[in-house]
Structure 1
Amino acid sequence: MSSAAYTVFYFDAFSGRAEPAHLMLAAANASFEKKGKDDLPSTAFQAPALRDNSSGLVLGQTTVISKFLGRRLGFDISGGDEEIVAMKIADDIADIWSEGYSLRKKLDAGKCLEWLDVRPDGTRNRGRFVRLLSVINESRSMGGLRGQGQTFLTGSEVKYVDFLFLNAVRVMEHCYGADRVALCLGQQACGNLKDVVENVKGLERLKEYLASCPPVLYESVSAAKLFGQTGRRDSRSISPPKPPSQGSLAKRYSKGFVDKTVGPRIDNGPPPGHAALKKRSTINVGELRTDSIHDFNKEQRKTEKVENAWGAMFNAAGGGKK
C-alpha cells in the first residue's frame, strides 16, 4: 500500500477534471500520489478517481470526490439547507465545465464568441457563460448562505466548491483566453466572482502548486488554436477556412474528385462551367450540388458579424485599454 494518504487517478499530461482534488490536497498539505488511468480500480467507471489509501475506499465523479475530500480535509459545508445549496452550486460549476469544454471542441469560433458574449439576449447560446455565472452568484445568498460579496463563494472560509470553481475558470481560460474570461467574470451580475477566483489562487499552499502544476487541458483545445493568439483582446484573428475556388471546383469535378463539402463522385459528363457556377445559386449534375459554397458564405458572414459585435462590446467595456 502506498505511503501517501491518497491516490488520484487521471491522465498524465494534464490535470483536467482531477484538478479540484489536486488543489484541495495541496491546500491542505495532504500527501497524495498520481497514477494514470490505466491503473484505475474497477470500482470507478472512468477517470478521475480517488483512493483513500487508509481505508481502500475508491470514488469516481469529480463533484463526489470534492465533497468527500472537503469532509476529510476541512473544506466541507455540512448540515441544513446550506449543504444542499452548496451542492447545487457545485452542479452549476459542472455545467460551466461541460458546456464550455464541449463547445470549444466543436471548433466553431462564432458559437464560442456568442457563448462568451456579455450581453445575453434570451437565446440559448448568446451570453450563456455570464448567465451561468450570475446564477452561481445569486445562489450564494440562498438557504442561509451569506456568500455574496464575501472572500469565497459561500462565506469567509474556503470550501470545496471554491476549488471546483477555480478549476472551471482555469479550464475556460485555457479554452478561450484569460482576457475573455475575466471580462465575463467582471460583469455586474457576477458580483465579486472575479475576486473569489483570485482569493483561492492566493491561498499560501496553492501558490507553489499553481506555479509548477501541469496544464489543465491539452493544447489542441487552447485559445491559441481557436483564436490565433491567446492574449488577443478581440476576435480579429479568427480566419474561417476559405471555400474552394470556382476554378478548382471545376477541375475536381472533371477528375471525379470526391469532396465531402460538395457532393458524391461523378465519373462522366462535362464539368460545370465557370460562368454557370457564378451565375446560378444551385447546380445539379447528377447528385452533385454546390449549395455548400453558399452555405459557407452565409456562415462566414454570420461569424464576421459576431466578431465585430465582440470587438465593439469589449471596447465599450473598457477591455481595449492596455
Structure 2
Amino acid sequence: MYDVAIVGMGPAGMTAAVYAARKKLKTLLIGKEWGGQIARTSEVENYMGFQLITGQELMRKFEEQVNEYPVEKILDEVISAGSQKENFIVATKGGQQYFARTLIIATGKQPRWLNVPGEKEFIGKGVSYCSICDAPLFQGKKVAVIGGGNSAITAAYDLIKIASHVYVVSLDDWKSDPALSDKIKDAPNLTKMAGYQTLSINGEQTVKNIFLKSVREPFRETNLEVQGVFIEIGTVPTTDFLSGFINLNDYGEIVVDCSCNTSVPGVFASGDATTAPEKQVIVAAGEGAKAALSAFKYILEN
C-alpha cells in the first residue's frame, strides 16, 4: 500500500514525486515513458533557470532529481483506475495492480490522429508524430508537416535543417507564435501550403505521396511527392482510462480546482491532462507540486 500513486512521468508527475517523497510519503511513480511530450521537443527557451535547453535534457535533469529520493518507479501503462473501500487501485497493461491512499493523475496529452486513409498503415514507415525523434531518418528527403500551430512550426524548424524540402500543409493560415513563424518563413527549402486538406497518405512499403485538396476556390487536388509525413495537429488528454471514475469536461480534460482536487476526494490531478489553463512545462511542474502538497494534506486529515 502506497501513500500516493502518481500516474504519469512527465514534468507534472516527476515534480509531484519529488514533493511527495520530501514529505516522507511512500510514493509510486508509474507511466509508460519518461518525460512525456516535452521530451520530444527540440528546444525549450522559456523554462526558468535555462536560457536554452532541449526537452530531452530538461527531462533528464527532472529524472535525475527524482532518482535522489526513495520513489518506486515502474514503466507500465495504466489502463484503469478506481476506488476500493477507502483506498484507490490502478491496473496496468502489464497485468499488475497497485493500491494507494491517494492518487495523482498527471498523464498529459498524446498526439491527435489525422484520421485519413494510410495514416495508421504507415506509422513507422514514413508517418511520424515526433520530429525530434524521427527527423534524422529523413536526411535529404522531401517531407510534409501537417498542421499550422506551434507544434507544426516547431517540427518544420527541426526539419528544414535535415530534409531536402519541407511542405507545411494546413487547413488555415498558421496560428503559431510569431517568434516561431519568423524562424522558418524565409527558409529556401520550405513551401507553405495553407488552405489544403490532407485526404490520404499513400505508398507501398513506405510513404510515397499525400493526396491534398484545397479548401478555397478555385478548388484543386494534388499529389504531393514526399517520403515522410509529420502529423502535428494538436493533442488530446490521455484520460480515457478515467471515464466513469472522475469528472472530465467535454474536451476530455480532468476537472480540477486551484488545489488540484478532482471530483473524487483523495484523487488529485495536474499538468496538461487537466482544466488548468496554459499548457506549459513550467505550469505543469508547478501544478505537480501543488497536487503532491494537497495529497499530503489529505492524508494528514483522513
TM-score w.r.t. the length of structure 1 is 0.22
- Which has more strand, going by share of residues? 2
Query: Which one has more relative contact order, counting CA pairs under 8 Å at least 6 apart?
Result: 2
- Which has more helix, going by share of residues? 1
TM-score w.r.t. the length of structure 2 is 0.23
Rg larger in 1 or in 2? 1
